[in-house]
């Protein structure tokens, strides 16, 4: 693959992930984050939450996946988000995390990709930005 020609505003990736209570259990086991707000409704509501919430880092990890699939992990330079809204997960079924990645800025050999992450039409991550190398050859040398 040669250098990519990216333009500001261009959608470069989309995707979605269903998050259910099983996903929370798996993530807790992998991360070691066993905070009961991620698996017990009574604890979550007792501290003023609407119910069990998805782990923020799980949401963040899922949000970058379409960008990684599009560009490859070796081209990701930096990634950051602001957690702006919790993601409640119902006892039955799942919530769907909808993702869209657009070019926000293009510079010398790299681009900023802005990721929009929504659940039920509401944005759950703010300033979700991924810096990527626009050239696969540069990524291999780094």
Q: What is the pLDDT of residues 76-106, one digit of tens each?
A: 999 999 999 999 999 999 999 999 999 999 9
C-alpha span between 36 and 47 (Å, rounded): 11
Average pLDDT over residues 15-44: 97
C-alpha span between 90 and 53 (Å, rounded): 9
Tokens (6 digits) for 133: 């190398």
- pTM of this structure: 0.91
Q: What is the mean pLDDT of the chain?
A: 94
Phi and psi, residue 82, nearest 5°: -115, 135
pLDDT digits (tens, 9 = 90+) for 109-122: 999 999 999 999 99
**Fold annotation for 11-19+55-141:** Thiol Ester Dehydrase; Chain A (3.10.129)
Percent of the chain with pLDDT over 90: 90
Residue 39 in this model has a pLDDT that exceeds 90 = yes
Domain residue extents for the chain = 11-19+55-141
Please tell me which residue, 12 or 135, carries the higher pLDDT value. Answer: 12
Please count the CA atoms within 13 angstroms of the CA of 64 that sit on its side-chain side: 23
Please tell me which residue, 141 or 51, carries the higher pLDDT value. Answer: 51
DSSP state of 1: -
């Amino acid at each position: 693959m040669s250098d990519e020609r990216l333009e500001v505003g261009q959608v470069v990736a989309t995707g979605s992930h269903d998050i259910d209570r099983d996903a929370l259990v798996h993530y807790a086991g992998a991360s070691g984050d066993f905070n009961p707000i991620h698996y017990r409704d009574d604890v979550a509501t007792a501290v003023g939450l609407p119910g069990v919430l998805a782990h923020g880092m799980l949401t963040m990890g899922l949000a970058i996946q379409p960008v990684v699939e599009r560009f490859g992990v070796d081209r990701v330079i930096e990634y950051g988000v602001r957690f702006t809204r919790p993601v409640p997960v119902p006892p039955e079924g799942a919530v769907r995390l909808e993702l869209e990645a657009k070019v926000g800025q293009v510079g010398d050999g790299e681009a900023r990709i802005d990721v929009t992450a929504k659940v039920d039409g509401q944005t759950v991550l703010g300033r979700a930005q991924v810096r990527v190398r626009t050239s696969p050859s540069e990524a291999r040398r780094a």
